[in-house]
Structure 1
């Protein structure tokens, strides 16, 4: 019986390893799409890494300039990601802090959906001034998207590849190959799903738009460019002469000519960005008390339903069937 139990645990552990085996990666076509948009990509299969490098300036224009009064700067993105990412079973990586959570095909960065003060940056009365691509530069010059990048999400949008998250998994647009537009409620806790046997994030038109947490293991904190000013010392003018005015009143919300409410420039919980892990609270800077307990500090369920099936099946087989000398 002891041998059988040990073997049972060994098989269950092997089933877990099979479940999280690194067999999901960006395709050759996806990597080439990024190279075609001026990415320098270095693949090292021995170290299981892929390095993405880009100046950080998007390859598109915008009818609304850059969306705010900050200049877009060359920031020299350089990120080392997993070539073959593995699933984080114990604890999902936090996407609630400031900064880059992924890289778009256009060369721009993906950010989470929050403003500096913890409000929804894309929609609502406290939304930020975004261009018509759902992006803008931050004060340090990093151009980034908070929502579905509409300058990229054009043409045939079915299964549209948008970029890569910092854990190495791809980010796709809302529409799949059947014409279905996915919503956040239909996705998992990290805003993704397994689609055609492959895990991917789905950008959606509803909050939180891009990523809620990192599905993959070992998302390393990385800095683009030199440590000063995010590496940028060369500014880029907006692609068209339609810049917002300096009074901060032009944007997708609250609307042209309307002053941004003072409450949008305040955070009731000034440390919200260090306390939020999963991006589920729509306005954590103001409503942190309303966040679920398991969304604070990065706690998560250890196993998903598929892993439970693997373990239960393996345990059942080896507890209910005799172990012969063949296995010993």
Structure 2
């Protein structure tokens, strides 16, 4: 009898599965079934909110329904060491849209250097609409259901640990963008950040079966070229993407806001040339 009680206590202490409430939060095309080891999540990846118009001048990719089927650990386990993020999908939002790693294929900060639509997403070459940062429209929709942003359940990472809204609590120094919920450091949850890299995940804390690609950080200083974007929410822009990360030159200048018009490099050069000519008195004001 004592042995049975010990076994039950141990099983409870190491079981950190998604709660029934968290599982019930998945909506839209998402379906979740479970076996002894995994949740099997399926989704067509279609967002349940308005998006930009794709393709457009900056993003030649067209959104397409997907056939996501992913095994998520039923009882996620904190690994002995963190794992670098893989390219492409690192988790799923509650609306079935994929979370991607925070970097472009050139290892730049995608949120600063790529053009996202008003809801914080865009499609890659395979038509996968995805988020690199906070899913803005989804977040705003869920805000009315919670008292604090940190209570908002946004989705799940591939290692099985939940992803929650921003928190004022100090995050763990491991760089994975989350915190332990117990002194034994066995229960973990990720917290997104609206302004600070890596926005969603910086690395995996739990055991995960995908292969990492060494994406631990991004160069946020190289802004490269820019792409002009229309001002309307229906015509947000992006650069080409490949294999889950974004190809091409960065598109959003530092401090820029997605969904706003950006000056073209040619316009900037003309303005600079005019200033030089006026300075040297080669032309009149």
Check 1:251–1:189 CA distance in 2 against 1; reply closer, same or farther (3 A cut): closer
- 8 A Cα contact 1:21 1:86, kept in partner: no
2:234 to 236, 242, 259: 242
Distance, in Å, in 2 between the alignment partners of 1:51 and 1:246 is 31
Distance, in Å, in 2 between the alignment partners of 1:193 and 1:242 is 37
State the Cα deviation string for residues 238-259 of structure 1 (Å, max 9, x = none): xx98325799999654662434
Distance, in Å, in 1 between the alignment partners of 2:89 and 2:189 is 18
TM-score for the superposition, normalised by structure 1 = 0.57
Check 1:245–1:115 CA distance in 2 against 1; reply closer, same or farther (3 A cut): closer
Distance, in Å, in 2 between the alignment partners of 1:244 and 1:135 is 9
Distance, in Å, in 1 between the alignment partners of 2:12 and 2:198 is 26
Secondary structure of 2:139's counterpart equals: coil
Q: C-alpha root-mean-square deviation of aligned residues, in Å?
A: 3.4
2:16 to 24, 30, 36: 24
1:102 to 88, 91, 101: 91
State the Cα deviation string for residues 250-288 of structure 1 (Å, max 9, x = none): 965466243479xxxxxxxxxxxxxxxxxxxxxxxxxxx
Which consecutive residues of structure 2, in runs of 5 or more, have no partner in the other structure?
A: 1-9, 212-231, 241-248, 267-285
Alignment of 1:144-223 (within 5 A): 144-154=130-140, 155-156=143-144, 157-175=149-167, 180=168, 188-195=174-181, 198-205=187-194, 206-220=196-210
Check 1:247–1:202 CA distance in 2 against 1; reply closer, same or farther (3 A cut): closer
Distance, in Å, in 1 between the alignment partners of 2:165 and 2:18 is 15
- Number of residue pairs matched by the alignment: 213
2:53 to 32, 53, 65: 65
Secondary structure of 2:111's counterpart equals: coil
Check 1:60–1:190 CA distance in 2 against 1; reply closer, same or farther (3 A cut): same
Distance, in Å, in 2 between the alignment partners of 1:246 and 1:135 is 9
TM-score for the superposition, normalised by structure 2 = 0.65
Distance, in Å, in 1 between the alignment partners of 2:60 and 2:262 is 15
Distance, in Å, in 2 between the alignment partners of 1:119 and 1:216 is 25
State the Cα deviation string for residues 104-145 of structure 1 (Å, max 9, x = none): 11211011111121111112xxx1010111111011111110
Check 1:256–1:247 CA distance in 2 against 1; reply closer, same or farther (3 A cut): farther
Q: Which residue of 2 aligns with 1:92?
A: 82
Which consecutive residues of structure 1, in runs of 5 or more, have no partner in the other structure?
A: 1-17, 222-239, 262-328
Check 1:246–1:52 CA distance in 2 against 1; reply closer, same or farther (3 A cut): closer
Distance, in Å, in 1 between the alignment partners of 2:18 and 2:156 is 8
- 8 A Cα contact 1:56 1:142, kept in partner: yes
- 8 A Cα contact 2:114 2:250, kept in partner: no
Secondary structure of 1:122's counterpart equals: helix
Distance, in Å, in 2 between the alignment partners of 1:83 and 1:252 is 39
Check 1:115–1:245 CA distance in 2 against 1; reply closer, same or farther (3 A cut): closer
